[in-house]
Chain A
Amino acid sequence: MTANPRTLYEKIWDAHVVERQDDGTSLIYIDRHLVHEVTSPQAFEALRVAGRKVRRPDLTLAVPDHNLPTTARLDSAGKRLPIADAESAQQLAALEANAPAFGIRYIGATDREQGIVHVVGPEQGFSLPGATIVCGDSHTSCHGGLGALAFGIGTSEVEHVLATQTLLLTQSKTMEVRVEGDLGVGITPKDLVLHIIGVIGTAGGTGHVIEFRGKVFEEMSIEGRLTVCNMSIEGGARAGLVAPDDKTIAYLKGRPLAPKGDDWDKAVAWWKSLATDPGAKFDKSVVIQAADVQPTVTWGTSPEDTVAIGGVVPAPESFADASKQDAARKSLDYMGLEPGQRMDEVEVQNVFIGSCTNSRIEDLRAAAAVLKGRKKAAGVKWAIVVPGSGLVKAQAEAEGLDKVFIEAGLEWREPGCSACLGMNPDKVPAGERCASTSNRNFVGRQGPGARTHLVSPAMAAAAAVTGKLTDVRTLV
């Protein structure tokens, strides 16, 4: 027992304090910085104007993902195809020029390793347990699945990290989400995290860093942990964490940018010391019973608007506070749903399997397992599968998953953020519904007027087959 038991978050924080300030803030060292095309151009420009360099280009990795179309990137002769949207093309060209100009490793649009930053980081072994990781994107919380302290930042902070490799931060409060017992058969990490957000609400983690604890997370795959931590931000938390363990170590060993040799041994020893000490106190604690978690879908326009697939659309009057009642009325109006309507009778016209939440190999396997030997329903007009990276794509193709998707009538795309956000050509038409494995069901998120139902990859596949939101357990 240490004299002063600390949580995982406190251990990572303490290891990264450069200087404590009198006003309660600390200058924190940043170990890994991921850069994409949307939130970086003005940061690079500011450095250029001020004549400043990137302090540690070797701790920085640039990958385009948000604006890239997911259709073919090369023509039959192997030449780069132009990007139709002029503003997207300009942002992508800016990153392609800025990375080499500042000495930063750049994974380009047509490189095999290209993908969504939050898929590429762990996959390359760039993201590591105990590291501080930032990116100009709120879903940076994803990397917490490896036991890293990872969070999103704005453009001014991107500039600050590029120039100084530090951020001036106030220490967050700690929050434990402890899941007791075992998940039922067919219940996935996505169902669990949607359920958790439904319980704590989108402001439940505000001001806190969440540590996910319990046997469920110990038994969960790394892909599953990344999915859960990815959506910590939807619960209002600054970041989410799962303690690194033997699974984490096995996942990282041999990855291209992971430590090697003597450094690897030292890393493993340190990672094993990071788990929260017995007796460490959390500022807030929430306990969830795993047995309560059902295949979960969203009915509204906030990630906290969750309900079990066997449930019904709630009545706005069922909510205690007036502002939530009002929000629910507006949500139902936007979503075109009636209180009392059964969720498993809601028809969908679109299916999206992808995003930094659910585009890893395990997600694609889960979707393919449901789709194998089945066909997309006639009412589903558009169904796409977008792998999180070129390496995920290659792995899926080696396993023949692409053929399963194509034979079922789904499109097999190039890696990118795709239909998670309306920044590239993949959009859901106004008034239509989409069963989506992404992370946000906000108004207009998947395109103006688009109606999003957040689900797991297996549930998205089930919706593709039946044409409506469906309990995947009835298909297996």
Chain B
Amino acid sequence: MKAIKEISGKAYPFGRKNVDTDVVIPAHWLKTISREGLGKGCFETVRKEPGNVFEDEAYKGSPILIAGDNFGCGSSREHAAWALLDMGITAVIAPSYSDIFSGNAFKNGILAVALPQDAIDRLMEVAKTDPITIDLEHQTVTTPFQDRFTFEIDPFRKHCLLNGLDEVGLTMARNTAISSYEDKARDALPFLAKGIAA
């Protein structure tokens, strides 16, 4: 996973509340063998609405998505996080998130920033013309107009995101402990420790 220090760039001023994961990626995109390529299906139904932000050339390729309350509710599909990443979104700013989406976003290296609704309203305005900067180290969201909002984040998640550590990577960092268990198991439980040939 890529380490995140700062995400700076244009943002989709989407703003919608209660966006469920079926909206993020409809069910017919789930029969896949890849995490990639789902960006094409991301917000598929919203893209058909006239004047939507996702088909607007002004926002194409934005790394940030601004949304309303309870983003990512509904189905637990991890595909929602994969789809956002595949369309280039590495941070979401919203007042709140569903627990499952928040977990899936973290597992896949997406920064989910929670800010109060008035801050969201202001950022929606700015995003129409100017870039936004999220500084994870200092936990701030800033604009070129001296706006400065601070956000909270779980210290463990912050550490993981700053250092590009996904859960797999974190456990791999405990290689010494795993190897030492394997050494002991070779003596104590050889019948389990010995593998089969490919």
The number of chain A residues with a CB under 8 A from chain B is: 49
Interface range on chain B: under 10, 10 to 19, 20 to 34, or 35 or more? 20 to 34
CB proximity to A under 8 Å, residues B127-168: 167-168
Given contacts A18-B178, A27-B171, A164-B178, contact A126 B196 (CB under 8 A): yes
- One digit per residue, 1 when the CB lies within 8 angstroms of any chain B CB and 0 when it does not, for chain A 55-69 equals 111110100000000
Interchain CA distance A154-B53 in the complex, whole Å: 34
CB distance B168 to A15 under 8 Å?
no
A263 at the interface (CB under 8 A from B): yes
Cβ–Cβ < 8 Å partners of B196 in chain A: 58-59, 61, 105, 126, 257
CB distance A266 to B78 under 8 Å?
no
CB distance A94 to B33 under 8 Å?
yes
Given contacts A126-B196, A164-B171, contact A266 B34 (CB under 8 A): no
- One digit per residue, 1 when the CB lies within 8 angstroms of any chain A CB and 0 when it does not, for chain B 178-198 equals 100110010011111111111
CB distance A29 to B185 under 8 Å?
yes
A426 at the interface (CB under 8 A from B): no
Interchain CA distance A46-B177 in the complex, whole Å: 24
B35 at the interface (CB under 8 A from A): yes
User: Would you give the shortest CB distance from A150 to chain B, in whole angstroms?
Assistant: 13
CB proximity to B under 8 Å, residues A33-61: 41-42, 45-46, 49-50, 52, 55-59, 61
* Sampled A-B contacts (29; CB under 8 Å): A18-B181, A19-B174, A19-B177, A27-B174, A31-B192, A41-B34, A42-B82, A45-B36, A49-B35, A50-B168, A57-B195, A57-B198, A58-B198, A59-B196, A94-B33, A103-B198, A105-B197, A126-B196, A156-B78, A156-B167, A160-B171, A163-B171, A164-B168, A165-B178, A166-B171, A166-B178, A257-B196, A266-B190, A267-B191
B31 at the interface (CB under 8 A from A): yes
A131 at the interface (CB under 8 A from B): yes
Interchain CA distance A163-B168 in the complex, whole Å: 7
Interchain CA distance A50-B77 in the complex, whole Å: 21
B107 at the interface (CB under 8 A from A): yes
B58 at the interface (CB under 8 A from A): no
B172 at the interface (CB under 8 A from A): yes
Greatest chain A CB density within 10 A among B78, B178, B182, B191 is at B191
CB distance B178 to A159 under 8 Å?
no
User: Would you give the shortest CB distance from B184 to chain A, in whole angstroms?
Assistant: 10
Given contacts A57-B198, A130-B192, A263-B190, contact A46 B35 (CB under 8 A): yes
Cβ–Cβ < 8 Å partners of B1 in chain A: 50
Cβ–Cβ < 8 Å partners of B190 in chain A: 259, 263, 266
Given contacts A61-B196, A87-B31, contact A264 B168 (CB under 8 A): no
A325 at the interface (CB under 8 A from B): no
Known: A27-B171, A27-B174, A58-B196. 20 other contacts (CB 8 A): A18-B181, A45-B35, A49-B35, A50-B168, A58-B197, A87-B31, A90-B33, A94-B33, A105-B196, A105-B198, A128-B191, A130-B192, A154-B78, A155-B78, A156-B107, A163-B171, A259-B190, A266-B190, A267-B191, A270-B191
For the complex of A and B, list the 4 residue pairs with the smallest distance between their C-beta atoms, beginning with the closest: A58-B195, A41-B33, A259-B191, A267-B191
CB distance B191 to A163 under 8 Å?
no
CB-CB nearest in chain A for B107? A156
User: Would you give the shortest CB distance from A307 to chain B, in whole angstroms?
Assistant: 32
User: Would you give the shortest CB distance from A162 to chain B, in whole angstroms?
Assistant: 9
